[in-house]
Structure 1
């Protein structure tokens, strides 16, 4: 086969039409696309993915933004329940998603016909996932609740085996066991550790309420795993903005129905009547920081591989421990630290192992992010950067 230079390939790629999801064509300008430039350079040189300090910094800024979101949710503890917070967060995200769809000339807001059923599943699972996660944040120490979301990958792997026909890998099994032990350390139940478990004084999150919050947090991780599986079933021709729009729109009826079933009231917008000016400020900032985190992390992944991004997102735990000490003034439990280190340590090892895999450049998701962001990278990246190789072959599909 004729060997082409990078300059030749740049000119070909800039002028080659590319088929998008609705059958139209578009031009791929590699000069203006840093993610595609990095990927194609890796292919042409035969070397592995290059790692960018800029990308890592952007992903860590995204993690900081998400950590701020979690702090705002925690600050509304006792003022607004998780139904109200999720409801108003969705109201903030809907106009942003619509604006981004309009800005990117996405005319089909409801997605292609074949994907609409799975889009409904994605929204229907994403909304309760965030509800459960916010409940855990408001009833557990902040780092413990955030660590629970890192248990999503084993659930996602199990659902992928059941619904997507994928194989259960050794790493998935190890991850499930590690996450189980990590959660047990965070919960430190008395039936396992005894009544002398080393909890700190003032630890008002222990006992039955704490155990219920942990179970609900794990239920949220399971819902997030289902949302992840639905994204993989949707495929690559639906924009991530459309998927986020589905999540936000469906959050409105889901929160209202859940509020009626759980606390006997449809009125999720009232917030119990205890919301002050600062609480409304936290409410709006919850939605804004959620979308800012999505934007920064997506931008960072244009310069960095998803496996390295997995390591960068572990900084969320560091940020939340700092917030716990500085803003919430709560003592940190020794067992919680050990459980967090176990789960995050495993995620770090997974990230390092995946960094050695040159095929993962565009086709892996960042585990541990809030599900409406991290579990959409595969669809968004393939939709934006789908292109043909020099010899006419197709890039590998997402596993």
Structure 2
């Protein structure tokens, strides 16, 4: 007679608020790193959507002004954080790596400009896909310039991804004239893009991949000789200064005053989201270095698709979606093949180390050799 009562009590305990809270707490503890990376990707995609919105709005902000706003605020927040937490060698970094930090920043600025140029002419999701080429191109560059191993699987993944890029571009001399853009729910007017503008934007995106890969290759050289945010700070400072000079010197462009509170908020929010992106990625990768956490980086394409649909009412067409799926699957497969070897020295993880996987063992020695030969 007592067993039903005991069973009922056990059932009540399992449905109690304390029990549900412990389940959520356990889920949070087991997936904290992956969740932080997911939030980082939401921040990054939001930042890219703001950049595209500002470039296509009434004022049509130039990419240099968008970069100036984003990286200037990121530089300030990053500097304050490193000063507050007493990061070693702040603000200039160790003397032996300053040249490499400047080179990393230069490559990064070139890659960022290419990204913001391309999002003016391509849907956000389509421009985002090209970023997934960076790990494979970086692996190849490190094999050429640093003597690191470039496996057959990475070569196969790179060739397959290249096929995906060609499908995304679907040049008319191969595919014929194709209207490959879907407007199922257009909510705002978007500048009409000619086939030539679209093709040039794709070429610029590929050049941006080379810039980003150059930045990540120098990150390999730097290794654990500089804090992750030190690299970000150099990047932000050089991008801010270079974009300001370009706006002042190049004829036909210049600083535009934001019109209304919305544009002010978007420009400031871009810089804040840029810092939040880096901070959450660093925290997430400290907590979880598994392939599960690294794979969360690929969720950014889903958020980009959502922003394209919600803001512009535009989605990539069939060829673009098919090519994008090939790129994502091939690079994700390549990433999951990488062995996660333990590092001899602890290094602050960041976006670059996530993209490059765990192949950082011995990077400090590679950096010393490169410094000696430079």
Match of 1:264 in 2: 251
CA distance in 2, matches of 1:158, 1:352: 17
Match of 2:110 in 1: 128
* Structure 1 residue matching 2:55: 3-state secondary structure: coil
CA distance in 2, matches of 1:198, 1:377: 33
CA distance in 2, matches of 1:66, 1:138: 17
* Structure 2 residue matching 1:166: 3-state secondary structure: coil
CA distance in 1, matches of 2:355, 2:193: 37
Shift of 1:236: 0.8
Shift of 1:159: 2.0
Aligned residues: 324
Matched, 1:397 2:359: no
Q: Deviations over 1:156-199 (max 9, x none)?
A: 12321232122332133123212211111211111111124655
Match of 2:19 in 1: none
CA distance in 1, matches of 2:323, 2:248: 35
Matched, 1:190 2:160: no
Matched, 1:223 2:211: yes
Q: 1:154 to 1:59 in 2, by over 3 A?
A: same
The answer to whether the Cα contact below 8 Å between 1:129 and 1:221 also exists between their aligned partners in 2 is yes
Unaligned runs of 5+ in 1: 1-50, 366-371, 383-394
Aligned runs of 1:1-399 on 2, under 5 Å? 52-78=30-56, 79-106=60-87, 108=89, 109-196=91-178, 198-200=180-182, 204-259=192-247, 264=251, 267=254, 270-271=255-256, 273=257, 275-354=259-338, 357-359=339-341, 373-376=350-353, 396-398=361-363
CA distance in 2, matches of 1:98, 1:234: 20
* Structure 1 residue matching 2:77: 3-state secondary structure: helix
Q: 1:235 to 1:257 in 2, by over 3 A?
A: same
* Structure 2 residue matching 1:251: 3-state secondary structure: helix
Q: 1:100 to 1:199 in 2, by over 3 A?
A: closer
Q: Deviations over 1:306-329 (max 9, x none)?
A: 532331111111111111111221
Structure showing the higher helix proportion among its residues: 2
CA distance in 2, matches of 1:339, 1:304: 30
Pair member with larger Rg: 2
CA distance in 1, matches of 2:194, 2:345: 40
Q: 1:254 to 1:112 in 2, by over 3 A?
A: same
CA distance in 1, matches of 2:335, 2:222: 25
CA distance in 2, matches of 1:105, 1:120: 22
CA distance in 2, matches of 1:265, 1:229: 35
The answer to whether the Cα contact below 8 Å between 2:154 and 2:334 also exists between their aligned partners in 1 is no
The answer to whether the Cα contact below 8 Å between 2:180 and 2:316 also exists between their aligned partners in 1 is no
The answer to whether the Cα contact below 8 Å between 1:188 and 1:197 also exists between their aligned partners in 2 is no
Shift of 1:116: 1.0
Shift of 1:376: 4.9
Unaligned runs of 5+ in 2: 1-28, 367-374
CA distance in 1, matches of 2:252, 2:172: 35
Shift of 1:96: 0.8
Higher relative contact order (CA 8 A, sep 6+): 2
TM-score by length of 2: 0.78
CA distance in 2, matches of 1:110, 1:338: 45
* Structure 1 residue matching 2:229: 3-state secondary structure: helix
Extract structure 1 runs of 4+ deviating beyond 6 A.
361-365
Shift of 1:256: 3.8
TM-score by length of 1: 0.73
Q: 1:92 to 1:103 in 2, by over 3 A?
A: same
Shift of 1:350: 2.8
Cα RMSD, aligned residues only: 3.0
